[in-house]
A and B are shown apart, each in its own frame.
Chain A
Amino acid sequence: MSAEKRVFYRNAWLPWVLIAPQATIIVIFFFWPAAQALIQSLQQSDAFGTSVEWVGLENFVNLWNDDTYLESFKTTAIFSIWVAVMGISLSMLLAYFADRVTRGSTFYRTLLIWPYAVAPAVAGVVWLFLFSPSIGVVSYALNQWGFQWNALLNSQHAMALVVMAAVWKQISYNFLFFLAGLQSIPKSLIEAAAIDGAGPWHRFWTIQFPLLSPTSFFLLVLNVVYAFFDTFGIIDAATKGGPGKDTAILVYKVYFDGFKALDLGGSAAQSVVLMVIVISLTVVQFRYVEKKVNY
């Protein structure tokens, strides 16, 4: 095989040229910033960068000594698990039903894909308005039913709020993949099972769910990455990490320290830690979880 390919690309540089556009994008938008983060994490500077000092690992030592930073790992773990589990199971359910719908399916699908077009900060604000203790429609209804909703001071309520917003935002993306996955399952398999007398629930668990496992695995990785990196807009708009620090996940602190408090060294050190966590999580997922996936 490989010999054949070499014959095909007679010029040694042609394959390089062909991957150059993609490689350039990766270098400019991933490797270069990542390298800069690594360098900055070893420096401390004033806000305007007029004096830069190499401090070795001091930024990391500061993080290690900060009990609130360590606490934020727990918060992030809880948040990511909720977002990934809820996001995947809800969208799988929705995709299953959307796949079964025969009339007006385009309409339903369009509606379900819609939230993906909404910016994270806007999603945060929408949910904040719905659940704001003073003016929120939903919180008003909850209070009418005797449920004292207060996301401003109750940590569990605040966590529920940001999880809901983050899941809502991601459901469309998951939904699209699950729908495509379901549609690629040969109808004959399901029909055969139906003839044998398997009900819809039984058919789902024994045929569709196992055949969706590559999709589910892919989405698990992506949702965890999403929860870790892409959710600071939602947190910033909905809770600002409060009450206390109870919804301040790692990436929110990176954003806050870097862009609001202008502590670039500390913020860069946190991004490096975050990068290491996500890389190792992805490795673990590919090495251990992937073995259980049927392709």
Chain B
Amino acid sequence: MKYGLKVWGLGIALALGAVHTAQAQIEIQWWHSMTAVNGEWVNDLAKNFNASQKDYKVTPVYKGSYDESMTGAVAAFRAGNAPHILQVFEVGTATMMASKGVVVPVGKVMTDAGYKFDPSVYVPAVAGYYTAPNGQMLSFPFNSSTTVFYFNKDAFKAAGVSTEKPPETWPEVALAAAKLKASGHKCPLTIAWQGWTQLESFSTWHNTEMATQGNGMRGLNARLVMNAPLHVRHIENLGNMAKQGLFVYKGRANTPEASFVSGECAMITTSSGFYGNVAKNAKFAFGLSTLPYYPDVIGAPQNTVIGGASLWVMSGKKSEEYKGVATFFNYLSNPTVQSESHKRTGYLPITMAAFKLTEQSGFYKQNPGTDTAVNQMIRKTTDKSRGIRLGNYVQIRTIEDEELEQVWAGKKSAKEALDSIIKHGNELLERFEKTNQGK
């Protein structure tokens, strides 16, 4: 028993010691989903911030892919130990916004800690996306991306397609694909993130609504409307290209990206965040261009849709911890830090100041094509192109995948597939509205 008491005493002393050091430096937990090159970037940001001051220590924790870290945060929140900062992808934005009491608006965190927070410094498409229908900006923009078009210059040369004037419109893409196929290329075009690039970004790029209520930006009562003649025409075109072997389906999400890097596929539409991977791993000359569009559509091209993720501050923490979060966000708001992040990752410069700084540094001139994503996004957005923010979005994306696959396989017509997306998607939207309204 005596021995037991001694151990107890030692334990208490250790616990007190732990409390003491915790008081000396407040720890901020940051859950994220960045891997490889981007994971190193996140760790460097935390390291540099920790070195810049003594009061707070930001600890970045990789919690799996975007949906895994969100599921993890849900479980942690229910158990009462959520992180301070959570990185959430655009697909989860509506869910986070609807979960009142779970998050603290970023503006409140900043002003409570005595920092200024001005949403107008952000690129309009970025700020608009993370602003709730009541005009309050809820999360801190972090890594924003958009959809762009990559092409293999070596394959283009071999097929006699101009690399100086890459295809800009869908008819030109079809023509280039036909030439590539004639030259013996097995996979002229592939598509990553099919729902995001061919339905969502396609809609904003043509200034056409894909869902009512400004694509869900104005409220929970949005419903899908992407069976308009323009959408049907486009999916039908892609279906025909699939039949002729001009477009080859390589899977869901970003799986098709590997077939571009390996040189198997000559053209791909995917995220601007793919740039770092191609630049590092492709063994051929490649080019970057804007997402193709239909030249006869009035108002096209408008702007492509925003993707990527933002940082959410979780509720229920101590006020000095929120002060640490605010100090960290203040550090991240520095234009130099943002510009360096943009150059390093291929994510968008999220503020106008960071964009100007990058431009002045001559980065875009030295790395042609890197400004494609920026130019597609830094435009005045319209009510139809500001962004797409839907409830139960993860499931809707899956429905898009499932139905588009039926078109590529030749089992369903474009109209049938799009009608089916709307029918099943709207059931999910109705349910989301029902469980989240009146809060």
Contact = CB atoms under 8 A, between A and B. Distances in A.
Interface stretch (A21-29, A49-57, A216-224): A49-57
A262 interface: yes
A46 B436 contact: yes
A242 B401 contact: yes
A259 interface: yes
Nearest to A262: B74
Nearest to B98: A46
B260 to A, nearest CB: 11
Interface of A is mostly: loop
A262 B405 contact: no
A256 interface: yes
Contact of B435 (A53, A155, A244): A53
Contact of A48 (B99, B398, B406): B99
B250 interface: yes
B394 A261 contact: yes
A244 B405 contact: yes
Interface residues on B, range: 35 or more
A259 B95 CA distance: 14
Interface in A42-95: 44-51, 53, 62, 66, 68
B337 interface: no
B264 A244 contact: no
Contacts of B74: 47-49, 262
A47 B95 contact: yes
A51 B406 contact: no
A62 B436 contact: no
B402 A242 contact: yes
Contacts of B251: 152
A262 B96 CA distance: 12
A51 B435 contact: yes
Contacts, number: 91
Nearest to A53: B435
Interface of B is mostly: helix
B252 A240 contact: yes
B102 A242 contact: no
Interface residues of A, number: 32
Contact of A262 (B95, B398, B434): B95
A47 B411 CA distance: 35
A47 B99 contact: yes
A48 B312 CA distance: 14
A63 to B, nearest CB: 11
Interface string B251-268: 110000011001010000
A48 B102 contact: yes
Nearest to A51: B439
A47 B439 CA distance: 14
A153 interface: yes
A230 interface: no
Interface in A112-169: 133-135, 152-155
Contacts of B405: 152-153, 242-244
Contact of A260 (B98, B102, B394): B394
A261 B392 contact: yes
B142 interface: no
A152 B250 contact: yes
A257 interface: yes
A46 B251 CA distance: 30
A28 B44 CA distance: 43
A263 interface: yes
A245 interface: yes
B252 A242 contact: yes
B71 interface: yes
A135 B261 CA distance: 13
Contacts of B427: 62, 66
Contacts of A240: 252, 398, 401
Contacts of B102: 48, 50
Contacts of A62: 427, 431
B294 interface: no
11 contacts: A44-B431, A47-B74, A50-B101, A53-B435, A135-B258, A240-B398, A243-B406, A245-B402, A261-B394, A262-B71, A262-B95
Which 7 A-B pairs give the minimum distances between C-beta atoms?
A153-B409, A243-B405, A261-B395, A48-B102, A261-B394, A48-B99, A244-B402
Interface of B: 67, 70-71, 74, 77-78, 95, 98-102, 249-252, 258-259, 262, 264, 392, 394-395, 398, 401-403, 405-406, 408-409, 411, 424, 427, 431, 434-436, 439
Given A50-B101, A50-B439, 15 more contacts: A45-B435, A48-B78, A49-B74, A49-B77, A49-B78, A62-B427, A66-B427, A153-B249, A155-B409, A240-B252, A243-B409, A244-B405, A244-B406, A257-B395, A261-B398
